[in-house]
Structure 1
Amino acid sequence: MKRFKRILCYIGTDSSEAALSRAVSLAIQNEASLTIMDVIKPIPKGIAMIDPATEADELQQIMVDEHEQSLLARLAEYADTAVPIELVVATGDPATEIIRQVILADIDLVIKNADGVPGLGGTFGSVARSLLRMCPCPVWLLKPEIHGQFDRVLAAIDLDADDHEHQKLNRDILDLALSIAQSEQAQLHLVAAWGLWMEGPLRKRMGDETVDQMVTLQQMKVRSSLDEMIPSGMYDDHRIQIHLHHGDPSEVIRSVADTIEADLMVMGTVCRSGVSGALVGNTADTIFSELSCSMLAIKPAGFLSPVQVAARV
């Protein structure tokens, strides 16, 4: 698998050994460079009032230097890997600084631990959620308890949409999931939820018999879209187990992920509608809070991060 050239691993304050190990392994597989990054809080400007002899900027640099030394110590065991490694310690908001580094260094993959606290917000914390919404490159969020290779990789796609943007995103999701499954010698599963627009109100107005016929036609259309996306023989070297269900995307995705005990889910975020669009807003929070596996999220082609847009103003 040689899909990434510049990988960034965010360490942060949590236990990030799983993310660091995965990042180094991916860098070796992809012959990629690796940036190890941490972000610390800015020193309050009022600190000079406590000790007039010490400038806030001086204290800030001391903290940066200490964090750099800490990162160097953690990287000692990877000294023989021959992976080009750069250390970056920034100050400010973690998600914003990570995205700025992504844009500055043309990073094509961010890896970090899922930073949620069980019982206090679910699987993914605030930094992870911000990256999923705003980071222009793929974001790989790892569950610390999932070690070693992945046994089951799940690709979530949107077959209801027929525009070019969604179709390309679907292909990108499947290609990336396949690449990872092959690399990990894992089972590859594909989940797609489909439905008839305004099915409930239509049943009240038109009756079940008519709407059932419409649902059948929609199912045939979705199945045809899937056959076009995965033509016979295209992935014969790695059999895909398909889960095509009629229902709410968020419920279908979570149910299939739990049923197959997925280790990693590959999906798209920030599109206009369908499964990908459902991953923005309240539905996204529901999925992120209850998902029990690691996630690799990718953006559609041409996505502009709000951080990037702000930087251009």
Structure 2
Amino acid sequence: MFKRILLMADQRTRWQSALERAAALARRHQAELVVVDVLENLPGHVEKLLRGQSLAAVQAAAVARRREQLERATAPLQQAGICRAVRVLTGKPFLEVIREVLREKHDLVMKAAEGKGGARTRLFGSTDMHLLRVCPVPVWIIKPGQPPNYARIVAAVDPDPTDDRRDSLNAQILCLAGELTRAEQSELHVVHAWTMQRWGGLGISRAEQHALAQQEQSWHEERIAALLKRWIPDDLQPQAHLLLGDARERVPALVRELRADLLVMGTVGRTEIPGFFIGNTAEDILNEVRSDVLTVKPRGFATPVRLAD
């Protein structure tokens, strides 16, 4: 599934749960695990307050301290051959993590969520959202204090046989969710929220509108059934949820209702619009969920971040 995992050990978060899950994943799949943190560059005006020390020396000392902390935290994993290295970088956190992904060809980024995700607070902070928007590989954000195993996993799909890119993304989502369900011995729920086509004003009768609505529902049911048959083994016994309504509301509501531990979903961006790399629906769902999330980009997604920037 994943072979080169980058765990972002943001010191502003409680990242022990994320480390444990990343280590378990690396152990299960015989993958490389690298632990990375990024320290923001000190602003130039701070040098006036350093009493003769250079800005570079202070920054280097901070990097050395943080590296020592990470070495201590990961020592058992390094001795077991699970954690290959720790690195402390400087710069803008999400940019440097993505550059590290590009340099080292990581295929997964894991990170503890910045927020607590209470009823009135968002779970994902600014660095989380930047990674979810523009990181070119799957991003797994983990809520602090999560149980060691997931009881329920929800996979959100949006079937459309006329859109190869979207259908390919559905396959990625279901394959990942299926593998994790088997590994975690959890329940798998697959959700698709759809909105009814409005037929009013087209000069057709109510009976015809009702018949068209039934046809539309049957079409969605058939597409979900086809996706599950193709991509999910029968022994996983997935439970399908076909929900009428806006995905922005229905998907987070189902995650809460099921008390799901993980939501696996895609982030479909309209990349023809400069600077717009995540769909409105996906972003709205992410702002509402309080579970862990694993997000997947469409194949061929190109991050705007460059190594030379």
Q: Pairwise CA RMSD of aligned residues?
A: 2.4
Q: How does 1:239-258 map to 2 (within 5 A)?
A: 239-258=237-256
Normalised to the residue count of structure 1, the TM-score between the two structures is 0.89
Equivalent-residue separation in structure 1 for 2:172 and 2:180 (angstroms): 12
Aligned to 1:287: 285
Change beyond 3 A, Cα 1:72–1:298: same
- 1:231-268 CA-partner distances (Å, limit 9, x unpaired): 38961221111101121111121121112111101010
Residue of 189, 211, 214 corresponding to 2:212? 214
d(CA) in 1 for partners of 2:231, 2:97: 40
Mapped contact 1:133–1:280 kept (Cα < 8 A): no
| 1:297 corresponds to which of 286, 295, 298 | 295
Kindly indicate whether residue 66 of structure 2 is the aligned counterpart of residue 67 of structure 1: yes
Q: How does 1:1-313 map to 2 (within 5 A)?
A: 3-12=1-10, 13-51=12-50, 53-117=52-116, 118=118, 121-160=121-160, 162-197=162-197, 199=198, 202-206=199-203, 208-231=206-229, 235-272=233-270, 280-281=279-280, 283-308=281-306, 311=307
SS at match of 1:230: helix
CA offsets, 1:280-302, max 9 Å, x none? Answer: 34x44432232121100010000
* 8 Å Cα contact 1:18-1:113 kept in structure 2: yes
Rounded to whole Å, the distance in 1 between the matches of 2:134 and 2:157 is 20
How many pairs were matched up?
Answer: 302
When residues 234 and 280 of structure 1 are mapped into structure 2, their CA distance, relative to the original with a 3 A threshold, is closer
Question: Would the aligned equivalents of 1:28 and 1:81 in 2 still touch at CA under 8 Å?
Answer: no
SS of match in other structure, 1:203: coil
User: Could you tell me the percent identity over the aligned residues?
Assistant: 31
Using the size of structure 2 for normalisation, the TM-score is 0.90
Cα distance per residue 1:15-39 (max 9 Å; x no partner): 1000011111111111111110111
User: Aligned to 1:128, what secondary structure does the other structure show?
Assistant: helix
Instruction: State the distance in 2 between where 1:134 and 1:121 align.
Output: 23
Deviation by residue 1:87-106 (Cα, 9 ceiling, x = unmatched): 11111111111111111111
Relative to structure 1, is the Cα distance of residues 193 and 160 closer, same or farther in structure 2, using a 3 angstrom cutoff?
Answer: farther
State the Cα distance separating 1:161 from its structure 2 match.
5.7
What are the ranges of 5 or more consecutive residues in structure 2 without an aligned counterpart? none
Q: Measure the CA separation in 1 of the matches of 2:75 and 2:124.
A: 29
Change (3 A) 1:75 1:278: closer
Q: Deviation per CA, 1:44-84, whole angstroms, max 9, x where unpaired?
A: 22333334632211211111111100111111232442214
Structure 1 residue 205, shift from structure 2 partner: 4.6
Change (3 A) 1:312 1:213: farther
Q: Structure 1 CA distance, aligned partners of 2:261 and 2:252?
A: 12
Distance of aligned partners of 1:260 and 1:121 in 2 relative to their CA distance in 1, 3 Å threshold: closer
Q: Secondary structure at the match of 1:180?
A: helix
Q: CA deviation at 1:146?
A: 1.4
Instruction: List alignment gaps of at least 5 residues for structure 1.
Output: none
